[in-house]
Amino acid sequence: MSGTGCPAPATAASTTCSTSPAIVQIRHDTPGRAYYRRKIAEGKTPLEALRCLRRRLSDVVYRQLVTDAAAQHTTTDDQAGPGGHPGTPTNLSSVADPTPTAGSSDTPQPGPAPRGAPHRTG
């Protein structure tokens, strides 16, 4: 573990992934921009303020992931049908039913072309 509290050193990909949303927050009039300006006013350098904003955004994403995972574990079978879609009863699932059949029309399909017939090209 590095001295920054991160479990591993940052890679170029992880830095880019966390910096892009932070830059967007700073460019537009968002709560992230207000947070960034507040950090600058506290005496942090622009790079330090950006690092704080990136950490704040990653915390928001992590909290949402934890919330979504908890909500997924509390879902009962009555709420979600096959494939996780609510309102789909199990007995109507295509997984539980045999292969669906489509009714054909009453008129017979044409047979194969007779031998020696000219071949049409599309």
pLDDT in tens, 43-83: 999 999 999 999 999 999 999 999 988 888 765 545 555 55
Interatomic CA distance for residues 103 and 61, integer angstroms = 50
Tokens representing 13 are 């990909």
Asked if 45 and 77 count as a contact pair (C-beta separation under 8 A), the reply is: no
> Range with the lowest mean pLDDT among 20-24, 73-77, 117-121?
73-77
What is the tens place of the pLDDT at every residue in 6-21? Answer: 555 566 665 666 788 8
State residue 117's pLDDT score.
60
State residue 3's pLDDT score.
46
Concatenate the DSSP letters of all residues of 97-115 into one string.
SPPP--PPPSSPPP-PPPT
Select the more confidently predicted residue: 107 or 58.
Answer: 58
Asked if 49 and 39 count as a contact pair (C-beta separation under 8 A), the reply is: yes
* DSSP tag of 2: -
State residue 63's pLDDT score.
93
What is the tens place of the pLDDT at every residue in 32-48? Answer: 999 999 999 999 999 99
Which of these, 9, 18, 50, 10, lies nearest to 32 by C-alpha position? 50
* DSSP tag of 119: P
pLDDT at 112 over 70: yes
State residue 72's pLDDT score.
80
Interatomic CA distance for residues 115 and 95, integer angstroms = 43
